[in-house]
Structure 1
Amino acid sequence: MSGLLIRDAEVDGRRCSVRVRDGLVEELGAVPARAPGEEEIDAAGGALLPGLTDHHLHLFALAAAFASVRCGPPDVRDRPALRAALHRAAPDRHGWVRGIGYAERVAGALDATGLDALRADVPVRVQHRSGALWVLNSRAAERAGLRSGRHPGIERDAAGAPTGRLWRADDWLRGRLPETAPPSLTAVGRRLAGYGITAVTDATPRLAPDAVGALAEEAGSGRLPQRLLLLGAPLSTPPSARPAPGPWKIVLADSVLPDFGGLTEEIDAAHRQGRPVAVHTVTAASLALLLAALEQTGALPGDRVEHAAVVPAEAVPVVRRLGLRVVTQPGFLADRGDAFLDGTPAHEHDGLYRCASFLRAGVPLALSSDAPYGPLDPWSVIRAATTRHVPGGRTANPAERLTAAQALTAYLSPPHAPGSPPPRLRPGSPADLLLLAVPLADALSDPSADLVRLTLIGGRILR
């Protein structure tokens, strides 16, 4: 195909035609007749937009999740269903079963003994839906060497024996599992394209060189067609590298916060390399620590707050004054908002996953999924941002609702500048595009992934 002509598309509120050639928008407006060898598509008035960006997800974890057994709502809601799901799961070629998405309301606070009661014949590891905790049954704990393990995240009982619970110990655990190649991202790329996503930011912290190489291979081969930014790329990565390095990811774990001096040193080290920071914070305490650290170090343009799950009202103007961007996930409210409302003090409810407050304060705001830990579908996240309904029927601080247009705009911002205005379609702009089946006003009235007609990345149609 020598090019693509999209007829009768809605662009910025007007109906026009768009010619795409060599990965760029070549013409826009009253485009003449189809050129020889050019494919033509009748948009029938459907909106043509820049492609969406998911500003925070975890690619290899998402690929692994596609091949794992679901262990939590909505698929699994009680102990008998969990037992059945684990027994239906076929072990991998090394004999292990991998579960994801566990929530305590299914069968309580699982440990090795509790997991043995559900399935004990093979090594089983189950990840909590937060992504912060793995639970291993006794066979898995023995295979992984928990008893002699030295990682601080290995939970132990009063006698010093491991309970089977590992907190934020992914790298340590990965080194003790049977060696496997990184999963293919083909299915992930296809799913993302189906949602209209043309760019992604992998938020996995401190990526090892082999992980960076594997992600580069997936992107370079086209198995992951989306544009790719890495928050966990080593600080030594040159800006011209592909995949491109983004802000340096720092995790402020809600269980054990780092000391203030160590945090400021890490921020300074990133800033000296010209890298902004992207800091995971899900509690008011961790946000206060981050803001205090940035007051001392000074902020660098592009510094980001990741998640911002709990933000006291008095912190919003500080975030604005420091020039920070916020990348948040209101999709968690629709997915598990009851647990957030029930598990946080009432005085913090107004601060849960703020959105509108940041926009009113002039803080650049981007939305994302945090998949596989949150819902991947951006259209469901947009709906969640506009309703703020939780599964049980309550509403989490309706004052923080966005309009559908605001929520969509927060997905349209470019990868390197989350929360900035979306790119405009004009001659010479990259042909990373999303065509909807209906005009934009109709899509905003009822956001749905079903309205995505086709996605283009670099002018190539991904169906």
Structure 2
Amino acid sequence: MSERESRTVLLRGGSVYSPADPFATAMVVQDGQVAWIGSDAAAVSYLDAVDETVELRGALVTPAFTDAHVHTTATGLALGGLDLTGSPSLADALARLADHARAHPGHRVVLGHGWDSARWPEHRAPTREEIDAAAPGRAVYLTRTDMHSAAVSGALLAEVPGIGGLPGNEADGTLTRDAHHAARRAAHAAVTARQRLDAQRTALRHAASLGIAAVHECAGPDISSEDDFTGLLGLASRTPGPQVHGYWAEALVPGDAKALERLRDLGAAGAAGDLFADGSLGSRTACLHQPYADTDGHTGTAYLDADAIADHFTAGTEAGLQGGFHAIGDAALATVVEGARRAAERLGLARFRAARHRVEHAEMLTPETVASFAELGLTASVQPAFDAAWGGEDGMYAERLGVERARTLNPFAALLRAGVPVALGSDSPVTPLDPWGSVRAAAFHRTPEHRISVRAAFTAHTRGGWRAVGHDDTGTLVPGAPAHYAVWETEDLVVQAPDTRVANWSTDPRSGTPGLPDLTPGRELPRLLCTVVAGVVVHTAPNE
């Protein structure tokens, strides 16, 4: 396929997933846009007008994916650094740390990600003494899989004066809250500009290799740095690859012109993303109405109240910017809804809804908060892989909350029934970039009543992501739409029900419904052949 956007390309002989023609087998792309969709027979008339003809040989062409919640630099550092996500035990994680530290003597700080003590037989985090023994004298920063707590070395702590007096120094030696943010800033400050750029390139190349055409970067002063954010946006603007829509998580107040000017200077799409209303369930910092099941009366941490949330939404709406928050626990979500409602009362509901504010994660929703999301026009930016990783009666959610409360988490079907805009993402590196895996996780949720169809999940991971950043004309393959698409090698296409108790069936031409790959657990996921962004090839799979 051509790498020059100005060329006209005909793709034929496959299946094109398009609402314009549910049974299309051919597509013409011109000047970075979809120009035509139809049948192979009708495509004959274009043969003399195109610069290139691509024979699909039965491959499936779909809109490319959008990942609605990514930490790009952290993803690249995890891909190329110390990955602890597969560590089966604390002892194994410490051995990996020791090996990695020896192999990288020149790194000023040893970065690692992904440990999960809930899955280890030791059932505890690494202590500071254990980290110091594994990497003597080294500054070490190891994030838990949810990135809301970290285990660090004594040498790293020595680089953060006053950290001992900050909230979040936990009894087990891990850091959460303000102490964690301070340690993260120190660790990231030790990453060189070259390391950061290499990590960003690695992450974006990896995204392209998975059929992802755009990511929503969720950055902010407690997550990364302004240099990291502007560097990433600059890299994406000058390099063929996935587009990056950047959110900067800084609280706004009405009348603060300097903050709004800084957001615009940064190139931010909005003041949203990981602006923390609370923390995470795994680190027991998500804010709950009732105590955690595995603690004595602890209900998590509330970082913002309804007044601060109302001010942020108000300032963003008045400035024409999206606002949004990270909120996971039921108490945090109730506070976000209350703040949103107060802002809507100040501004008028129609004006508030038009801003398309968003909430990240939104896991512990109740029927009441779901209804409020729909009323207020809040977008739910959710991660189905969270349920795949930690759901179920034996998972971390059940351990933290008890089985009954755990069953209420991530109610995707209820959100769609209520008409809530939904966008899917990964929160990478919390869970990996894996769009087809996310679609599967949503369609085969561990709690059957929360399952949605493969088609609905796919739409939320393509068009839903674009709508979340205000691009309503993007994310489907129809004439006039931007040519962001992926080509897949896959088995027979089916119309798939969202519940394993209902059989799958092949596409019936009389139904007018296009088919998607069969994502039943145990079946192979589609294999990417090519990713195209705005008509430009950004990834081609190597020939086998």
TM-score, L = length of structure 1: 0.87
Deviations 1:183-203 (A, max 9, x none): 332222222122211111111
Matched, 1:205 2:205: no
Report how far residue 366 of structure 1 moved.
1.7
Matched, 1:409 2:459: yes
| Most deviating of 38-47 and 291-300 | 38-47
| Alpha-carbon distance in 1 for matches of 2:308, 2:317 | 14
Matched, 1:55 2:46: no
| Alpha-carbon distance in 1 for matches of 2:266, 2:27 | 29
3-state SS, counterpart of residue 5 of structure 1? strand
Report how far residue 6 of structure 1 moved.
0.6
3-state SS, counterpart of residue 202 of structure 1? strand
Letter in 1 for 2:34: V
Deviations 1:213-269 (A, max 9, x none): 20122112316x112211117753699989561353321123431233223222222
Deviations 1:298-317 (A, max 9, x none): 14431112101111233221
The equivalent position to 2:192 in structure 1, one of 171, 180, 186, is 180
The equivalent position to 1:436 in structure 2, one of 467, 474, 488, is 488
| Alpha-carbon distance in 2 for matches of 1:55, 1:174 | 24
Report how far residue 373 of structure 1 moved.
0.5
Distance 1:179 1:17, change over 3 A: closer
User: Which aligned pairs between 1:82-231 and structure 2 lie closer than 5 A?
Assistant: 82-89=93-100, 90-91=103-104, 93-105=106-118, 106=120, 107=122, 108-142=124-158, 144-146=159-161, 148-149=162-163, 152-153=166-167, 155=169, 163=173, 165-167=175-177, 169-170=180-181, 173-175=184-186, 177-178=189-190, 180-181=192-193, 182-184=196-198, 185-206=200-221, 208-222=225-239, 225-231=241-247
3-state SS, counterpart of residue 251 of structure 1? coil
3-state SS, counterpart of residue 436 of structure 1? strand
Letter in 2 for 1:456: V
Distance 1:426 1:380, change over 3 A: closer
Deviations 1:395-441 (A, max 9, x none): 3x210011211111111115442397974423332111122224643
Distance 1:166 1:322, change over 3 A: closer
Letter in 2 for 1:326: A
The equivalent position to 1:353 in structure 2, one of 391, 410, 420, is 410
Does the 8 Å CA contact 1:328/1:366 hold for their aligned counterparts?
yes
Deviations 1:430-454 (A, max 9, x none): 1111222246437431375543221
- Name the structure 2 match of 1:279: 325
Deviations 1:163-209 (A, max 9, x none): 46253544664246435112332222222122211111111234644
- Name the structure 1 match of 2:386: 332
User: Which aligned pairs between 1:298-317 and structure 2 lie closer than 5 A?
Assistant: 298=344, 299-301=352-354, 302-317=356-371
- Name the structure 2 match of 1:391: none
Does the 8 Å CA contact 1:24/1:431 hold for their aligned counterparts?
yes
| Alpha-carbon distance in 1 for matches of 2:457, 2:127 | 39
- Name the structure 1 match of 2:436: 379
Over the matched positions of the two proteins, sequence identity in percent amounts to 22
- Name the structure 1 match of 2:519: 446
Distance 1:28 1:313, change over 3 A: closer
TM-score, L = length of structure 2: 0.75
Report how far residue 50 of structure 1 moved.
1.7
The equivalent position to 2:276 in structure 1, one of 251, 254, 266, is 251
Does the 8 Å CA contact 2:218/2:272 hold for their aligned counterparts?
no
Letter in 1 for 2:36: E
Distance 1:172 1:100, change over 3 A: closer
Does the 8 Å CA contact 1:313/1:351 hold for their aligned counterparts?
no
Distance 1:459 1:80, change over 3 A: same
| Most deviating of 365-374 and 318-327 | 318-327
3-state SS, counterpart of residue 13 of structure 2? strand
Does the 8 Å CA contact 2:84/2:115 hold for their aligned counterparts?
yes
3-state SS, counterpart of residue 183 of structure 1? helix
CA RMSD of aligned residues (A): 2.9
- Name the structure 1 match of 2:256: none
The equivalent position to 1:319 in structure 2, one of 373, 381, 393, is 373
| Alpha-carbon distance in 1 for matches of 2:82, 2:53 | 42
| Alpha-carbon distance in 1 for matches of 2:52, 2:105 | 44
Deviations 1:125-148 (A, max 9, x none): 211111111221122222x235x3
The equivalent position to 1:418 in structure 2, one of 453, 465, 468, is 468
Does the 8 Å CA contact 1:54/1:369 hold for their aligned counterparts?
yes
Matched, 1:79 2:96: no
Letter in 1 for 2:27: V
| Most deviating of 114-123 and 86-95 | 114-123
Report how far residue 19 of structure 1 moved.
2.0
Matched, 1:457 2:533: yes
Letter in 2 for 1:128: R
> Which ranges in structure 1 are unaligned for 5 or more consecutive residues?
389-394
Letter in 2 for 1:129: T
Does the 8 Å CA contact 1:111/1:165 hold for their aligned counterparts?
no
Distance 1:348 1:226, change over 3 A: same
| Alpha-carbon distance in 1 for matches of 2:165, 2:55 | 58
